[in-house]
Amino acid sequence: MDSKLHPQTAAIHGGRSQEPQGALVSPLYQSATFVFEDVNTGSQRFAGEQSGPIYTRLGNPTVGEFERRMAHLEGSDGAIAFASGMGAVSAVLLGLLSQGDHLIVNCCLYGCTHSLVSEQLPRFGIEVTAIDFSDSAALADAIRPNTKMLLLETPVNPHLAVYDLDEVAQIARANDLISVVDNTFMTPMLQLPKRHGIDIVLHSATKFLNGHGDVIAGVVCADEPYLSQLRERSLKDIGAVLSPHDAWLILRGMKTLGIRMERHCASAQQVAEFLAKQPQISKVYYPGLACHPGYDRIGPQMKAGGGVIAIELDASLALAVAFVERLKLFQIAVSLGDAESLVQHPATMTHATYDEVQRQKAGISDGLIRFSIGLEHVDDILADLAQAFEVLSREPAQEEVL
């Protein structure tokens, strides 16, 4: 496949193999194992002397097409698919870190990633330090002789902080560290971390890549030797393998990734501008707004602000909950990137693994609400938000009965 294809074209054609029956849609290889012509063929495949499928935990043609497409889009040597986004995160951390290593992470991460690095990795003798990646001096000061990896999200889940990938990559290279970026919120349509020098890019493919809310999946995009290490240590031995059927569904979803991201971003921009005018909101977190600290990264690093918005309500926990529950079009659910608009309360849902001190450090307050802007007509999205704000206009005395 031509590497010069526009990303929207590559999301449809990238990584495709010639289908012997001439099917336009790539077939689903829903098989656990594959037959060898003879013992010698099986021996050669296990030894790596002959290409071809062996067993779906070790590789599958349908999953392989998804991996090739992601590698093409992210500009990496290859990609490895996993059974969930956390499967991808765990694969990188457990596959590339060892006892005695030191990991530096951003102080705010997706709740389960936070739980993994703060509760699970220390059990295996891996040290972890959380810092604010917007402070390059703090990042440099956190590096130790045993530091091996930097892990961050940008934009950050849930409050959309944006970090300078060129700066992070430069620090990583200068100190011989592995840099890892979660690119779930942006997708390859909006941000390409490897172009900025990042070593490993991962996604929860559950979100925008699939786009239809019916798959759990993850993917890691990297170059050698990381790919070989992750296939041997993480995929083969730990076994968080993506099913062929789920890979097939993601391939189908990715055909509309380009136009979906355009719609998500366009609607989110209008919604963010509307929210910024609401007196009940003390802050809107969206990189597409000029007041956002990451706004100047649009152009040099990001193509648009994305499809996720967070707000800080100037209200109590009770009123914040009442606001969320008054929404009608927005569905109360975690995840993001679906056709449906979703809303969730990070402090009690996705980031409930944080204790009070950690939540304050990460900037996750009781009034923080996260929206995933869907594909509905933006006028209907705005109307739903407008009617929900009525609950915040009530007299304070009424708050007690909510």
Residues annotated as catalytic (active site), given as ranges:
57, 110, 182, 207
Spell out the residues 6+ positions from residue 165 whose beta carbon is closer than 8 angstroms to its own. Answer: 154, 181, 193, 196, 197, 198, 301
Helix (H, G, I), strand (E, B) or coil at 48: coil
Contact 373, 267 (CB under 8 A): yes
Burial of 177 (0-12, 13-18, 19+ CB in 10 A): buried
**In which residue are the tokens 């009034």 written?**
367
Task: Give, as one character, the DSSP assignment of residue 32.
Answer: S
Residue 233 CB coordination number (10 Å): 14
Contact 373, 266 (CB under 8 A): no
Please list the residues that pair with 152 across neighbouring strands: 181
Here the tokens at position 9 are: 């074209």
Strands 147-153 and 127-131, by their bridges, are unpaired
| 371 closest CA partner among 309, 316, 320, 318 | 309
CA distance 166 to 168: 6
CA distance 285 to 270: 13
What is the gyration radius of the CA atoms in the chain, in angstroms? 22
Task: Give, as one character, the DSSP assignment of residue 22.
Answer: -
E strand segments, 298-366: 308-313, 331-332, 342-344
CA distance 287 to 342: 19
Contact 238, 89 (CB under 8 A): no
Contact 335, 370 (CB under 8 A): no
Contact 327, 382 (CB under 8 A): no
Helix (H, G, I), strand (E, B) or coil at 147: strand
Task: Give, as one character, the DSSP assignment of residue 298.
Answer: B
